[in-house]
Structure 1
Amino acid sequence: MSFTLNIQILEKKITMTSDEAKKKLDVKTEAPVLLSLGGTRFDKGLDILLDALSQVKEPFYLLIAGAEQGINRATIEDKIKGYQSQVKMVLRYLSIEEVDLCLTAADYIVLPYRKAFDGASGPLAEGVGYGKCIVGANHGSLGKLIEEHHIGYTFESEDCMSLAKVLTCALKNGFEYDEYAKKYRESLTVDNFQRSYLNVYLEK
């Protein structure tokens, strides 16, 4: 996700319910929706998530939305054979409106990034902007953000069994933002987001 896209998403007000977004996406489920958002690069760990979900017994529905990249459709279809009726794939570049729909429909944003990925996460910022629970790997800046700001759950990086246990816990118990999480969400207003980037450039 680009910087421009993040700003546009943060500026957008949610104008529909989760059920309305699901209908537009043709997501037919009463189960909690897990969202894997963005290109399917290997370092973003979609395969780890797919392996983990084969061990999850709680009801769930997985929405995979983003461009087909390192992990292709054939690999995804092979890994979801045991639960393919619980998965929808939108494997292409998304419009801003489609990203909005996906984020609105989701209950959990899942970030199973490998240790090689330790940069800023657009889906994390966008997910928090929409008040969603973030489930992410515990390494680097990703894990630190989730844990320090109480915005979701972390699991042992690159460990599909650890992710399966965390997803089971999240699906069973749900999640609500506390004051720390709400404060962090407020810090991601457009003005503060732009100001933080400006400060980074001024420091160089």
Structure 2
Amino acid sequence: MEKVFLADNIFTGHHKIYLDTLKSIYYTENVSKELSFSNNKFSFDYYFCRRDFINLVYERSQKKSNSNEDIIHFLYLDNLYTNPSSLKKIKDFKIVGTLHHYPQNKIKMKLFKHFSEKLDKIVVHSEYIKQILSKENILNVEVIDYPSFYDYRSLPNKVKLKEEMMIPKDKIIISALGGTRYDKGLDLLLESFKLIPTKMKNRILLNIVGKEEDFSKEYIRERAIKYNIEYRTDLGYVNDKDFMSNVVVSDLIILPYRSIFTGNSGPMTEAIVNHIKVLGPSSGNIGYLIDKYNLGITFIQEDIVSLAKALIYFLENNSEVNSDFHQRVTIESFVRSYKDVYENL
């Protein structure tokens, strides 16, 4: 097998574990370089830094390559394709790129389409994104489902975890996991509780866990008092064990995301792999997956009335998830699918 050179410019969070997982394939080699890219599109540096990163990856790969059948894999196209001329100099390699979020406007889609013509294969993490690209006549696309990178085998069961976390056994745990960013819609979720009958609210513990960002702990407290929400928060750095524990104790993972959120949801993946029901917007990639694979309940995006109705429906019809989609979000499936992409090239 020829070599596959893996390239990213970000070494933190999911970027790191994504890269480390692909490094486990014996014929891959890491040629990444940690670099900050300018976000000022009116600056020459915006284009130069992206071009320089790609040139650096090419030079590193050239030095290690012994075949014109070798592959360069850019693990995060999202911050590269807006400089469509940056792949011009790459020769003698096949090029793979992974796109995590689809372009949201016509200009970005045009830029990506131009960029895609220089790629031998584009990997996306949902059938929904592949369909969007197909409508733009971008056809060199392969779907590899985004996996759960966590190992839950060391955790105690749900009952024991509730005891350890001092969560009442009789409460239905509805979890909003991840940073309290505006695009994740925590404010919409809190507002929706004013439309839920008090008797039902008394059954719920709203579990909010993640980095404190746009919505502060004080904001959450004020809304919880106003709308009579029983809640617990863990805002700040959350280590892997605590994150996994908060997934496992959940009866529902809720995704009140705004329409500006277009990627895959990490908490949704963790819910799927643990057979936990998901409540998310009916539109976009999340709604597509929930409806097609029977993963939970959907609501009209950014509509608190629809969100409240979906919560009430869940409380009245709390059946188990009946889906085999969890088999597609394992690390084993992820690695096997990437090996297929590489070897077919």
Give the alignment's TM-score, normalised by structure 1: 0.89
Distance 1:93 1:194, change over 3 A: farther
Shift of 1:177: 2.1
Gaps of 5+ in 2: 1-12, 19-146
Matching of residues 1-204 of structure 1 within 5 Å:
2=14, 4=17, 7-9=148-150, 11-13=151-153, 15-57=155-197, 58=200, 59-81=203-225, 82-84=227-229, 86-178=230-322, 181=323, 183-196=324-337
- AA aligned to 2:159 is D
Which stretch of structure 1 is more off in the superposition, 184-193 or 87-96? 184-193
8 Å contact kept, 1:27–1:88: no
Rounded Cα–Cα distance in structure 2 between residues aligned with 1:197 and 1:68: 34
Alignment length (residue pairs): 199
Give the helix-richer structure, 1 or 2. Answer: 1
CA contact (8 A) 1:14 1:104 kept: no
Q: Deviation of residue 88 (structure 1)?
A: 0.3
Which protein has greater RCO, CA pairs closer than 8 Å, 6+ apart?
A: 1
Instruction: Tell me the CA shift for residue 198 of structure 1.
Output: 6.0
- CA-to-aligned-CA distance 1:140-170 (integer Å, 9 cap, x gap): 1011011111000000000011010000010
1:83 shift after superposition: 2.1
Q: CA deviation at 1:23?
A: 2.0
Residue deviations 1:17-39, cap 9 Å, x none? Answer: 22211222222251210000010
In 2, the alpha carbon distance for the partners of 1:202 and 1:60 equals 49
**Counterpart of 1:167 in structure 2: which amino acid?**
L
Residues 61-117 of structure 1 show CA distances to partners (whole Å, capped at 9, x for unaligned) of 110000100111121112111324x10011112111001110111000000000000
Task: For 1:83, give the aligned amino acid.
Answer: N
Give TM-score, length-normalised by structure 2.
0.54
Amino acid across the alignment from 2:297: Y
Q: Looking at CA atoms only, which structure, 1 or 2, has the larger radius of gyration? A: 2
Distance 1:25 1:200, change over 3 A: farther
> 2:188 is aligned with what amino acid?
I
Aligned equivalents of 1:200, 1:111: Cα separation in 2? 31
C-alpha distance in structure 2 between counterparts of 1:197 and 1:128, whole Å: 21
Give the secondary-structure state (helix, strand or coil) at the position aligned to 1:8: coil
Q: Percent identity among equivalent residues?
A: 29
